[in-house]
Chain A
Amino acid sequence: MTRDAIKNLILEIIEDIDEDADFDTLQSDKPLRDQLDLDSMDFLDIVMELRKRHKLQIPEEDYPELATLDSCVNYLEPLLADA
């Protein structure tokens, strides 16, 4: 999966969690949670959706890697290389 495709995947998952999420002003190097009003419960949805869609097992200690859109892409790129 390309970096753009991974980015779109994350945005798609977030849109699925909150259809009113505003992506226009989203800064890819800033924490998603602060910008989108996501709480830790919503955040878990991202992890679980990745598991459901791509059979990705993300261990709890790696959750901080998913803090920003950029860090998501960096973390997921090797894991989704063959996807």
Chain B
Amino acid sequence: MHVPLIIIGGGLSGLAAALRFARFIPDVLLLEQHSRVGGLNSYYYRNNRLFETGLHAITNYASPNEKNAPLNRLLRQLKIKRKELELHQQNKSEIRFINKQSLSFSNDFSLLDSEIKTKFPSSHKGFRKLLLLINSYDPFKPVPFISAKIIIEEHLQNPLLTDMLLCPLMYYGSSIENDMDLGQFVIMFKAIFEEGMFRPGGTIKDFLDLLLHHYHSYGGVIRTKTGVKQIISTGKKVSGVILENGDEISCDYLLSTIGSEETFTLLGKDSGIKQMIRLGFVETIFEVDPVTKLSSGHDNTIIFYNNGSEFRYQQPEQLVDFNSGVICMPQNFQDLPACPYKEVRTTHLANYEYWARGASNRSAYIKAKDNTAGSSLSVAEKILGNFAENIVYRDTFTPLTIKRFTAKKKGAIYGNPIKIKDGDIGYDNLFLAGTDQGFLGIIGSMMSGVSIINQHILPRL
């Protein structure tokens, strides 16, 4: 069998790339090792209902008239109409550094601006100057790492405000510890603070089904439960793949969305990329009785909190670090249809090695998961008020769960700290998209797939 293009990985970058390509050339083959597409943003069934994984909120909200906003560009590229998605904007969100300060923000940027003006008056002028820098900086130009933290601190002259602004941006997309690359910071700042957050009216399954529907309508083909064993290459040229089941498929072009090191492993080569710490996370879903009234912060969509003496975004020296994290209430988007359940979702940094070490002892692993849920509940209750009595169902994902279902190395959702921004990994006809290319979030990863197809593959065919 021969196809012009094989895409490895049916996460959002692979799906978007496949859809973009199939619009013009239908003979594209998308290979996904799992039984479902979506990668990190997928779903599962428990307790007689569907649970979403990954999705808290989608960043990069834009109104229909902002033609060049990433969201609208992406939809145009994929020929998806906004009304097919039914967008619901966040109520508002909060950055809460307990016993220190809190900042609210929404899709109206003036809220964050006025919060900073009121609560950090001496830093407001610097914040305005920082905005000028953010809005004139080209984050896509390939340049060596520049510390965002140093630049922000220079502008704001206030370590607390620096950490508060970095907290949501790190939690929603930083693969490196305690800092961000300036380009990445600019992308995330625009995506979260300037553009804002939303979610579709349906579930992530509806969203994935919509992408698959369009993909199939162009004649694109997807094979799930189909792992790739090897990428066949000679010198700098790739000629095809060998599947886990031994089948061989040849292709003119190959796009890998499974990570840079993971791709080199399939090539049978050493990536030569420096090994750095990969950040792991735990997430717990608390489904609560829909009548539950939370006493504080209940209408927020997301709360990014820190309870430590200082904010540390780094691999913890224990299973989980509960000192900081994210609390998401997915029902808190504007005008969502009434839903028979309510959820509180929590995310914290976790140590993959520690979880992996204890995994062979099944009962200890389950106990560690229970303890994690319990400790996470305590911090969430500290912020939201008590809701333990109203929990009807609870589930916890560890870095091992994430690794098992997404094949991400060490369950690190944001992938390799070293990004390959142009998707070029040294081959003539093999390119990299997705997490390790460097665009993050749902819109970012989809844009990654689309832009690598546009840049490297479509013009050459």
Contacts and interface: CB of A to CB of B under 8 A. Distances in A.
B454 A41 contact: yes
Contacts of A49: 24
Interface residues of B, number: 14
Contacts of B378: none
Given A18-B67, A37-B68, A51-B24, A42 B459 contact: no
Interface in B64-96: 67-68, 73, 76-77
A13 interface: no
B450 interface: yes
Given A48-B24, A51-B24, A52-B24, A41 B73 contact: yes
B77 to A, nearest CB: 6
Contact of B68 (A39, A47, A60): A39
B59 interface: no
B213 to A, nearest CB: 19
Contacts of A44: 454, 458-459
B449 to A, nearest CB: 12
Contacts of A39: 68, 73
Contacts of B460: 60
A80 interface: no
Contacts of A37: 67-68
Contacts of B76: 17-18, 41-42
Interface in B409-451: 450-451
Interface in B32-72: 67-68
Contact of B450 (A41, A47, A48, A51): A41
A44 B451 CA distance: 11
Interface in A29-78: 37, 39, 41-42, 44-45, 47-49, 51-52, 60
B73 A47 contact: no
B50 to A, nearest CB: 33
Contacts of A17: 76
A74 to B, nearest CB: 21
Nearest to A63: B459
A47 B387 CA distance: 57
B64 to A, nearest CB: 9
A60 B460 CA distance: 8
Nearest to B447: A41
Given A37-B68, A41-B451, A60 B459 contact: yes
Contacts of B459: 44, 47, 60
A41 B24 CA distance: 14
B82 to A, nearest CB: 12
Most-contacted residue by chain B among A37, A47, A48 (CB, 10 A): A48
A13 to B, nearest CB: 12
Contacts of A18: 67, 76
A23 to B, nearest CB: 16
A59 to B, nearest CB: 8
A46 to B, nearest CB: 11
Contacts of B68: 37, 39
A16 to B, nearest CB: 8
Contacts of B77: 41-42, 45
A71 B450 CA distance: 28
A37 B67 CA distance: 8
B434 to A, nearest CB: 18
A48 B67 contact: no
Most-contacted residue by chain B among A42, A45, A52, A60 (CB, 10 A): A45
Contacts of B458: 44, 48
Contacts of A48: 23-24, 458
30 contacts: A17-B76, A18-B67, A18-B76, A37-B67, A37-B68, A39-B68, A39-B73, A41-B73, A41-B76, A41-B77, A41-B450, A41-B451, A41-B454, A42-B73, A42-B76, A42-B77, A44-B454, A44-B458, A44-B459, A45-B77, A47-B459, A48-B23, A48-B24, A48-B458, A49-B24, A51-B24, A52-B24, A52-B25, A60-B459, A60-B460
Interface of A: 17-18, 37, 39, 41-42, 44-45, 47-49, 51-52, 60
The 3 lowest CB-CB distance pairs between A and B, nearest first, are: A48-B24, A60-B459, A37-B67
Given A42-B73, A44-B459, A51-B24, 17 more contacts: A17-B76, A18-B67, A37-B68, A39-B73, A41-B76, A41-B450, A41-B454, A42-B76, A44-B454, A44-B458, A48-B24, A48-B458, A49-B24, A52-B24, A52-B25, A60-B459, A60-B460
